[in-house]
Structure 1
Amino acid sequence: MVERVAVPRRGIWGWMLFDWAQQPFHTLIITFVFAPYFAASVAPDAARGQELWGLATGAGGLAIALSSPVLGAIADATGPRKPWILAFSLIGVLACAGLWFAAPGMATLGPVLILIALAVFGMEYAAVFNNAMMPNLVPRAELGRLSGSAWGLGYLGGLVSLVLVLGFMSASPETGRTLLGLEPIFGLDAAAREGDRAAGPLTALWYAVFVLPMLFFTPDQPRRKAVAGAVREGLGRLAQTIRRLPTERSYFSFLLSSMFYRDALNALYAFGGIYAAGVLGWSITLIGLFGILANVTGALGAWAGGRMDQAFGPKAVVTLAILILSACCLLVISTTRTEVFFIPLGGAGSSVPDIAFFVAGGFIGAAGGAIQAASRTLLVDQVARERVTEAFGLYALSGKATTFIGPFAVAAATAYFSSAAFSLAPEDAQRLGVTPILVLFAVGLALLPFVSSRQYQVAPG
């Protein structure tokens, strides 16, 4: 049994700053800047861009799914998590920096797709081991608040980074001006979309700087075994866990449920900006404003979700969030330039679709922040502390098992509806291509009743 010792405040803040460090990857690369830029300007067309983006992010998720439980079990046997975080951070940082070379209309997309996959692989893997440090930082009664506060801080980091990109770097190719009406800093060329491409290097630099407090100040687990001996022990423990898992109904059900609802959320994030660019014709600037709203509500949602977690338990937070996200997803899918909730508006010049999309984005941000924070504490409830890295490895496996299935499903559905058999416009094929997200939310919700959460007493004060 791993004993928890009192952690100094700077160690707690160092751990929380990991979310601040990593969030620009999700905000700038995966959702609001680079992904829609890739689909609209690098790929041949938006539908093909959505398909290729799904394949690249799915490949990165598949690599995590195949290896994370094994490495998690080995990490539990050896003890320290920081060496793993550092190794995968280097992969993610270098891959993000390389996205600068994704020029508009480039002939060969293979290297960019490889970089996208590596960025997902490195950044997401580092989070697996960072999450595993959480249970040893505070008592169980305070985990919900800690997780929610960290997610909220992360969303604020995403917000600040997005404002930097939109206000000072990313400029309209037509006007040459940023959202604040300024010329791009550092002489970035608006016509070459250098401001959008700079999201990659900025993400890399941001992460490299702000991950340092966690590496320097947050206490790690002591080394228990040499790596050579730990490999055999870790693999043995993992094999026992997998054999025993079907008999642990709550743990097994949680992994299955989270596998579906987290992938639905990730797909909603990953394809939201691409969808807005292709179906609603939004510019990067407008998508960025949408992202600012989602990050503000995400920070508030994560903070409020952490307090709700402490008051009512994480399962209640997850359930409510899934219901909200499902309704928002339906609103997004049913919105085009001429329709909202599949109801014709009578013309293409209405602002109602834009308003509806902004409303959906606000609620997606809030519910997404809450569900991600609560999911971390709900997982901790399923296992003993000495198995927590292995559990987060299985958590990554369960999530990544559909993190590649989800994007692949969206890619396949988009390609299917883009085929000559349907004769659909690209925006209609793109719209129908994201419908698998709703199915994933529904399956995740159906499995939640079988998940239990520990009863605990809230710490005084």
Structure 2
Amino acid sequence: MTSTVADPQTARGQILAWGLWDWGSAAFNAVATTFVFTVYITGQAFGEEAAVSAQLGWALGLAGIVVLLIAPVTGQRSDTSGRRKLWLAVNTAVVVACLALMYLVQPSPDYLLLGLILLAVGTVFFEIAGVNYNAMLAQISTRNTVGRVSGFGWGMGYIGGIVLLLIVYFGFIKPEVGLFGVTSEDGLAVRVSMVIAALWFAVFALPVLFAIPELPVTDAAKRARVGFIQSYAVLGKDIARLWKTSRQTVYFLLASAVFRDGLTGVFTFGGVLAAGTFGFSPGDVIIFAIAANVVAGISTISVGYLDDRLGAKPVIITALIGLVISGTLVFLLHDGGTVVFWIFGLALCLFVGPAQSASRTFLSRLIPAGREGEVFGLYATTGRAATFLAPTAFALFVTIGGEQYWGILGIVLVLLIGLLLLTPVKAKQDQLS
């Protein structure tokens, strides 16, 4: 992996600009898909809770299939076109537009479809933007610094989530009359929060577009350009070549797809469990979310230095073991109420960020110059291919146990399987050719 950074001062500026995109992305991750908008549209105003939740699942599942089909091809094409930054800008702009349009979703069943469409479209374009964003990691870091740079980016995302959640919670959602005279009538507090989220992402996505130059297109990349449909034939050949030249990379992509879905499940169902099993109010859930982001952000930034010193695999293995133990304790001690969830729920968050960040750096160290978008596209694809695992396991264990807290074991099982798949993967692999 090479770096295009000219000097330390430029490096710091480009890393900060790159991290600010992650900071801004909390608008979609924390506010839209986790703690605010999805909670809003699964409320009673939109219909029967179970039915609406199922429709949400189908909408996001369909979005996942779209990403599964197009992520590697779009990444490959960004590598050969020399327009990685341009497509990051375009995809980010679509996500910002979806966030802003969520203002139109009033608390009525008539607006449910619009809300689901905006979430699904936003999810697709957010994931594709992430392919180009992750590929930029090689431009602003070296093999010796990639761990701390990646950790900085993830940490910025968590901290950005903290700040934005504080703004929307204390500015609009908690007060009877919030900023600008906004109240909860007609869902206005949530709807205005989505406009704030859109502005937040738009502002903090700009620095990376100015600070990091577009990579020049090599002659080899120019020769590799093909039409969109032909890109899939190229993709098939690339996967076959990857299998022949670096099977450990393929093994890692598969293992990470499983444990990354378990990591997503920790946050996806954390709020549901807090409210349903441990008695948190909606406001308490947001407060917990803020604390969770604090813990995850600090641990992710700190562990980035260990990643560079010890390697990514020991970090991921340790984090997954910590997650399995903490999740099991949440299940076994669930009768302890809110105190148990505060302690071991935050323990889960302590390990989630480092596992996410180290997974990205593990892969980044393997990718040769010029194929970042392609391989991170596969990274997005394999991750999306497994997105059914945590929700299905959660639902299955709830059905078996008859109580919501049994779903915790489903998430723990997914994390454990990911851990077992990762264990035999060699940490030092041959470079792709």
Residue deviations 1:51-89 (CA, integer Å, cap 9, x gap): 333222222222111111111111122223111112211
Q: Percent identity?
A: 32
* Cα displacement (A) at 1:408: 5.6
Structure 2: unaligned runs, 5 residues or longer: none
Are 1:78 and 1:230, in contact at CA under 8 Å, matched by a contact in 2? no
The match for 1:223 is 217
Are 2:64 and 2:385, in contact at CA under 8 Å, matched by a contact in 1? yes
Measured at CA, do residues 199 and 268 of structure 1 come closer, stay the same or move farther in structure 2, by a change above 3 Å? farther
* Cα displacement (A) at 1:10: 2.1
Measured at CA, do residues 60 and 384 of structure 1 come closer, stay the same or move farther in structure 2, by a change above 3 Å? same
State whether structure 2 residue 284 is matched by structure 1 residue 286.
yes
Measured at CA, do residues 281 and 364 of structure 1 come closer, stay the same or move farther in structure 2, by a change above 3 Å? same
* Cα displacement (A) at 1:271: 2.3
Moved more, 191-200 or 65-74: 191-200
The match for 1:458 is none
What letter is aligned with 2:421?
Answer: L
The match for 1:97 is 100
The match for 2:239 is 242
What letter is aligned with 2:180?
Answer: F
Measured at CA, do residues 423 and 449 of structure 1 come closer, stay the same or move farther in structure 2, by a change above 3 Å? closer
Secondary structure in structure 1 of the residue aligned to 2:423:
helix
Secondary structure in structure 1 of the residue aligned to 2:213:
coil
The within-5 A match list for 1:420-459 is: 428=403, 430-432=404-406, 435-454=409-428
Secondary structure in structure 2 of the residue aligned to 1:70:
helix
Residue deviations 1:124-148 (CA, integer Å, cap 9, x gap): 2211111101112121110001111
What letter is aligned with 1:375?
Answer: S
The match for 1:113 is 116
Measured at CA, do residues 130 and 227 of structure 1 come closer, stay the same or move farther in structure 2, by a change above 3 Å? farther
Measured at CA, do residues 36 and 276 of structure 1 come closer, stay the same or move farther in structure 2, by a change above 3 Å? farther
The match for 2:350 is 366
* Cα displacement (A) at 1:123: 1.5
Residue deviations 1:142-172 (CA, integer Å, cap 9, x gap): 000111112112211111001101111113x
The match for 2:187 is 193
Distance 1:52 1:413 in 2: 18
The match for 2:375 is 391
Moved more, 51-60 or 294-303: 51-60
The within-5 A match list for 1:188-337 is: 188-224=182-218, 229-231=225-227, 235=232, 237-247=234-244, 248-332=246-330, 334=331
Are 2:68 and 2:382, in contact at CA under 8 Å, matched by a contact in 1? yes
The match for 1:125 is 128
Secondary structure in structure 1 of the residue aligned to 2:149:
helix
What letter is aligned with 2:350?
Answer: A
Are 1:170 and 1:190, in contact at CA under 8 Å, matched by a contact in 2? yes
Distance 1:169 1:227 in 2: 53
* Cα displacement (A) at 1:355: 1.5
Distance 1:382 1:42 in 2: 49
Structure 1: unaligned runs, 5 residues or longer: 178-182, 335-339, 346-351, 456-461
The match for 2:82 is 79
The match for 1:337 is none
Secondary structure in structure 1 of the residue aligned to 2:107:
coil
Are 1:250 and 1:382, in contact at CA under 8 Å, matched by a contact in 2? no
2:333 to 321, 335, 341: 341
Secondary structure in structure 2 of the residue aligned to 1:140:
coil
What letter is aligned with 1:364?
Answer: L
Secondary structure in structure 2 of the residue aligned to 1:384:
coil
Measured at CA, do residues 128 and 110 of structure 1 come closer, stay the same or move farther in structure 2, by a change above 3 Å? same
Measured at CA, do residues 105 and 273 of structure 1 come closer, stay the same or move farther in structure 2, by a change above 3 Å? farther
What letter is aligned with 2:167?
Answer: L
RMSD between superposed Cα atoms in Å: 2.7
Distance 2:356 2:118 in 1: 26
Distance 2:324 2:75 in 1: 31
The match for 1:459 is none
Are 1:2 and 1:385, in contact at CA under 8 Å, matched by a contact in 2? yes
Are 1:50 and 1:271, in contact at CA under 8 Å, matched by a contact in 2? no
* Cα displacement (A) at 1:23: 2.0
Residue deviations 1:216-242 (CA, integer Å, cap 9, x gap): 111221134669934478555422221
What letter is aligned with 1:162?
Answer: L
The match for 2:13 is 10
2:66 to 44, 63, 67: 63
Q: TM-score, normalised by structure 2?
A: 0.89
Greater share of helix residues, 1 or 2? Answer: 2
2:389 to 399, 406, 409: 406
Secondary structure in structure 2 of the residue aligned to 1:141:
coil
Q: TM-score, normalised by structure 1?
A: 0.84
Are 2:393 and 2:414, in contact at CA under 8 Å, matched by a contact in 1? no
* Cα displacement (A) at 1:293: 0.6
Measured at CA, do residues 71 and 324 of structure 1 come closer, stay the same or move farther in structure 2, by a change above 3 Å? same
* Cα displacement (A) at 1:284: 2.1
